[in-house]
Amino acid sequence: MTWITAAWYVVGAFGLIVFLSITVMVLTWIERKFLARIQQRMGPMRVGPHGTLQPIADVIKLITKEDILPSWADRPIYWIAPLAIFVPAIAIWVTIPFSESLVLQNLDLGLFYIVAISILSVLGLVMAGWGSANKYAMLGALRAVGQLISYEIPFIMAILGVAMLSQSLSLIDIVNDQSRIANIIVQPLGFFIFLVAGLAELGRTPFDIYHAESEVVGGPFVEYSGAHWAIIQLAEYVNTFAVAALIALMFLGGWSWPSMPFSGLAYNLLSLMWFLVKIYGVVLLIFWIRGTYPRLRIDQLMSFGWKVLVPVSFINIIFTGIVQFYNLHWSILTLLSLISIFVISYLIYKRPNASYKQNSIKIVPAKDATELPPENYGESNAR
Amino acid sequence: MLGSIKGLKTTLSTMIRKPVTAEYPIPEKRLDIDKRFMGFPALLWDYSNDEPYCTGCMVCIRECPTLCMSATMSDNERFSEGKSTRKKIIESFEINLSRCIVCGICVDVCNFDAIEMSHEHELSKLKRNLNRVNLETLIDMGKQFQKKIGWKPLQIRNIGDPNLREHLKLKAKAEMAKISMKDGETKDHISNANDNLSSREGNSPQ
């Protein structure tokens, strides 16, 4: 390694962290504003014009806040846990390209690396839960393990489908492969699986079971405050941005335009802008979903993951494999994907195994009160 | 499944609507106060005669359930000059607004239209005693209130300017006479109307 490449890595990593920190501040502002508008509120309005300086005020507040250590905490684990969450979140970004030439280090096995690193953050959550010596934190950590590991399978399978389409695990190759047709058109089922599994991996709202405020009062992060909490929060938003970037790269065609009239520097700048626009569009979609849906129960989450998403992700791969093997036209895969989406939606809607019959309550008129309740009174046919 | 898409549509439609928030402390963005709003009591100013309505009769002070008021009375020099109908006038008045419970009893018992529940209602202060207001502040509050809602005196006998008062009395008498000409048989009504002239429910003669 020459000095120049070493310097590039140092500068690039530093620039990446600065860029991501600023992005996270922007994201927190956008999320608060967006959720506020969904609820017909105004969101932050006081600090700066339309509250644009609110994130800076938040950062100052978090940094100057007292960092509290619970007396029963497992000290080394408690202090290392935020780093164990934060480092993988940043490390993912090493191989995510912003444009064809703007990437810290493109890897041929980029997607493999991302999957391998992203699962590491579970370790950080478990450490935070254990180190806090708090029952809510421990419960949250256990929930996080169950949720993240079960949703990792459809997550990886959706990535695999995209990798099969472009015959590569390098993100730049995947984007270049989509220069004509974006993968969301070829593989809508894969997009759906990746979006849902990605939301579950992030622990964002329909799947925010492991830090549910109303159940486990913030999950593994209950005891954290001040700068350590800020780092955990930073990692969460970086992860959100990473999933949005992955969706933009793998399904929306990354920085590729329909037709690009420019070349050279103008091309690079415009493609970077276009890529950021796509990422922010996905981020807004994620926030929109957060503003709409209530939280799932843990058993609903597990049954949705194992009974729906895992089989569906295998179906997706089988369809992709058939189309690839017989060299069929891509529109056949689109058709198959759409049909399977509709069939699956219909099956979920009908729920053939579920029974809604509940005879646990029987209303008896007062004048007939001498009649005794039936033998099976109070039993339920519901699952 | 369809329900989830409907949910997204609902949130989208609320997103497009305007927020209903009024940004309270910003003066130009806060909501208007209703005309009937009862804030803290304020002393009213008699614009016809350039002096307060209050004579310092101490009725409100005696009736106040929280004992938050105090006042002193003095002789009105303008009465001896013949410029005013008030023999006595208020010299100093103090209300501790932190103690006031905004019950409105002082307004009900006042015989001179001198005190009214103004629209003043914000009391955040840095110290406990900073909400004691003196005569000047009370009259300022009253003037603002009068200007805001277009306040007019309700009773002719409370008007300070002697000439104006006589004029209005004659005018009211003439009106009464008109009514009695029209409806001569029901004399009870007329006497009732005469009573109403000096009551709060009567129409404003000004």
Give me the interface pTM, i.e. the ipTM: 0.74
The shortest CB-CB distance from A38 to any of B2, B11, B21 is to: B11
**Which pair of tokens denotes residue B95?**
């209300």
Under an 8 A CB cutoff, do B15 and A37 touch? yes
Please state, in angstroms and rounded to a whole number, the distance separating the CA atoms of residues B83 and B89: 13
pLDDT at A358 over 60: no
Chain B closest-CA separation from residue A139 CA (Å): 29
Rg, C-alpha atoms of chain B = 24
Q: What integer best gives the mean pLDDT of chain A?
A: 86
In which residue are the tokens 């502040």 written?
B137
What does the pLDDT read at residue A260? 64
Q: B170: buried, middle or exposed (CB in 10 Å: 19+, 13-18, 0-12)?
A: exposed
| Element spanning B45, H or E | strand B45-46
Chain A closest-CA separation from residue B37 CA (Å): 26
Under an 8 A CB cutoff, do B19 and A41 touch? yes
Please state, in angstroms and rounded to a whole number, the distance separating the CA atoms of residues A129 and A148: 15
What does the pLDDT read at residue A88? 92
- Chain A residues touching residue B14 (CB < 8 angstroms): 37-40
What does the pLDDT read at residue A26? 92
Sequence-distant (6+) residues with CB within 8 A of A222 are A132, A134, A136, A137, A140, A216
In which residue are the tokens 């009370």 written?
B138
- Cα B178 off chain centre by: 31
The shortest CB-CB distance from B21 to any of A41, A289, A349 is to: A41
Average pLDDT over every residue of A160-169: 90
Longest Cα–Cα distance in chain A = 95
- Determine contact: A37 vs chain B, CB below 8 A: yes
pLDDT at A375 over 80: no
The shortest CB-CB distance from A45 to any of B1, B7, B23 is to: B23
Q: A80: buried, middle or exposed (CB in 10 Å: 19+, 13-18, 0-12)?
A: middle
Average pLDDT over every residue of A160-182: 88
**Which pair of tokens denotes residue A158?**
């959706």
**Residue B149: pLDDT band with limits 50, 70, 90:** confident
- Determine contact: A360 vs chain B, CB below 8 A: no
A297 or B65: which carries more pLDDT confidence? B65
Residues of B with a Cβ under 8 Å from any A Cβ are 1-2, 4, 7-8, 10-12, 14-15, 17-21, 23
Under an 8 A CB cutoff, do A349 and B15 touch? no
Nearest CA in chain B to A46: B23
Nearest CA in chain A to B17: A40
Q: What integer best gives the mean pLDDT of chain B?
A: 83
What does the pLDDT read at residue A378? 58
Tell me how many residue pairs between chain A and chain B have CB atoms under 8 A apart: 40
pLDDT at B200 over 50: no
Q: Minimum mean pLDDT among A18-27, A329-338, B109-118, B174-183: which range?
A: B174-183
Please state, in angstroms and rounded to a whole number, the distance separating the CA atoms of residues A326 and A322: 6
pLDDT at B205 over 50: no
pLDDT at A237 over 80: yes
pTM: 0.77
Under an 8 A CB cutoff, do A40 and B18 touch? yes
pLDDT, tens digit, for every residue of B20-61? Answer: 888 888 888 888 888 888 999 999 998 888 888 888 889 999
- Determine contact: A39 vs chain B, CB below 8 A: yes
Under an 8 A CB cutoff, do B14 and A39 touch? yes
**pLDDT above 70 coverage of chain A, percent:** 90
Q: Do the beta carbons of residue A253 and residue A185 sit within 8 Å? A: no
pLDDT at B65 over 90: yes
What is the length of chain B?
Answer: 206
- Chain B residues touching residue A34 (CB < 8 angstroms): 15
pLDDT at A214 over 70: yes
Chain A closest-CA separation from residue B79 CA (Å): 55
- Cα A116 off chain centre by: 15
Strand-pairing partners, residue B72, are B92
CA within 13 Å, CB half, B179 = 14
